[in-house]
C-alpha cells in the first residue's frame, strides 16, 4: 500500500454494504462477500462509498464494517473507506474513525449540496488530509455533488504528501489526462465503461461497481492489458459492456442493481435502505440473464 503508482492496488471493488432482511448491518455477509471479491480478482475494496449506501449508514456501522472486512481479508488487501460528507468537521471525524478501525486510505468526495468554490474545495481536502495518517483518494463526481474538482485544483492538491489518488467520475477525459500528465496522482476509473480507456492512458486501475457481481471479468480486462494483449483487453471490456449498461445506465443507482443481481446469484446483499427502492422483477431478471451470459463463456 506504499506504492505511489498504485497506492491502493489495481482492481478495486466499490463494495455494497449487505443488510439483513430486517435492514440491519449484516457483518457476516460482508465478510463473506469481501472474501469472495478478493478470491476472484480484487486486490482492494472501497467500503462506505456511494455503492455502500454511506448516506444511510451510521458512523458506528461504518466503523464496524471496516473492522469486519479487515478481519475477513487480512492485511494484504487495501481497504479504502469512504469518509466524505458535506461537512468538513464530520469528514475529519470519519477519517479518524476509519483509521482506527483499520482502513488503509480515505475516499473523500467533494462536499455536496453547498457547492463550494474551488478555494473552499481545496481547503476542505487539505484539512481532511492533514487530520489523519491515512493517504487520501479524492473523489471527483460532479454529477452527484454539483461541483467539480477542477484540473488546476487537482494539480495543486497533488503537492500534498497524503493526497495520492483520484477516483475519477468526472466524465472529462481531457481534464483527466492533463492531471495525469502533470502530477503523479494515481487515477482510478470510477465509471466501469472507462476502465480500459483510462488504464490505457496511465491510470492505476479502477474502482468498479460491476465488480461486485463479476470481479474476475473486470480484473481480466486489466490483466490482458498488462500482458500486452490490447486486442484481448478490448474484447473483454466490450464483453462486459452490456452488464455495465444494465447496472449503471438504466435509470437506477448502481447500489440497487448490484444488490438485485447479488441476491439473484445467492450472494450477501439484502435490501437497500430508503429512500432507495429495490429493483423490480423485470430488472432483476434482465441482470441475471446478462450475468449468466458472461459467466457461461
CA distance 17 to 292: 23
Query: For residue 86, what pLDDT is reported?
Result: 96
Q: How many domains does the chain have?
A: 1
Q: pLDDT (tens digit, 9 = 90+) per residue, 224-260?
A: 999 999 999 999 999 999 999 999 998 999 999 999 9
Identify the segments of the chain with pLDDT beneath 50.
1-2
Query: For residue 30, what pLDDT is reported?
Result: 98
Query: For residue 4, what pLDDT is reported?
Result: 55
Query: For residue 296, what pLDDT is reported?
Result: 83
CATH number at residue 167: 3.20.20.70
Q: Sort strands 136-140 and 163-168 into parallel, antiparallel or unpaired.
A: parallel
The reply to whether 80 falls in a domain is: yes
139 is catalytic: yes
Q: pLDDT (tens digit, 9 = 90+) per residue, 162-200?
A: 999 999 999 999 999 999 999 999 999 999 999 999 999
pTM, two decimal places: 0.97
- Catalytic residue, candidates 62, 100, 112, 167: 167
- Catalytic residue, candidates 62, 113, 139, 178: 139
Provide the domain limits for residue 219. Answer: 11-227
Q: Sort strands 78-82 and 44-47 into parallel, antiparallel or unpaired.
A: parallel
62 is catalytic: no
Query: For residue 297, what pLDDT is reported?
Result: 65
The reply to whether 270 falls in a domain is: no
Amino acid at each position: 500500500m506504499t506504492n505511489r503508482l498504485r497506492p491502493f492496488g489495481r482492481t478495486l471493488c466499490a463494495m455494497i454494504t449487505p443488510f439483513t432482511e430486517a435492514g440491519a448491518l449484516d457483518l457476516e455477509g460482508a465478510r463473506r462477500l469481501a472474501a469472495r471479491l478478493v478470491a476472484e480478482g480484487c486486490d482492494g475494496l472501497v467500503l462506505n462509498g456511494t455503492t455502500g449506501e454511506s448516506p444511510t449508514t451510521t458512523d458506528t456501522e461504518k466503523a464496524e464494517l471496516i473492522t469486519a472486512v479487515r478481519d475477513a481479508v487480512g492485511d494484504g488487501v487495501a481497504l479504502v473507506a469512504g469518509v466524505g460528507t458535506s461537512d468538513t468537521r464530520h469528514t475529519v471525524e470519519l477519517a479518524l474513525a476509519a483509521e482506527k478501525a483499520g482502513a488503509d486510505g480515505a475516499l473523500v468526495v467533494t462536499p455536496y449540496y453547498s457547492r463550494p468554490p474551488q478555494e473552499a474545495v481545496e481547503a476542505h481536502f487539505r484539512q481532511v488530509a492533514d487530520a489523519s495518517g491515512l493517504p487520501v483518494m479524492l473523489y471527483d463526481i460532479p454529477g452527484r455533488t454539483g461541483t467539480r474538482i477542477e484540473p488546476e485544483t487537482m494539480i495543486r492538491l497533488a503537492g500534498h504528501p497524503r493526497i495520492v489518488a483520484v477516483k475519477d467520475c468526472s466524465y472529462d477525459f481531457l481534464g483527466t489526462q492533463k492531471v495525469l500528465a502533470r502530477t503523479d496522482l494515481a487515477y482510478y476509473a470510477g465509471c466501469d465503461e472507462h476502465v480500459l480507456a483510462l488504464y490505457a492512458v496511465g491510470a492505476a486501475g479502477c474502482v468498479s461497481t460491476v465488480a461486485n457481481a463479476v470481479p474476475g471479468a473486470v480484473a481480466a480486462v486489466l490483466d490482458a492489458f498488462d500482458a500486452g494483449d490490447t486486442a484481448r483487453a478490448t474484447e473483454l471490456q466490450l464483453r462486459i459492456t452490456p452488464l455495465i449498461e444494465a447496472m449503471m445506465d438504466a435509470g437506477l443507482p448502481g447500489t440497487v442493481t448490484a444488490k438485485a443481481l447479488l441476491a439473484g446469484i445467492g450472494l450477501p446483499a439484502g435490501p437497500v435502505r430508503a429512500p432507495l427502492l429495490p429493483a423490480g422483477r423485470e430488472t432483476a431478471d434482465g441482470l441475471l440473464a446478462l450475468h449468466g451470459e458472461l459467466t457461461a463463456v
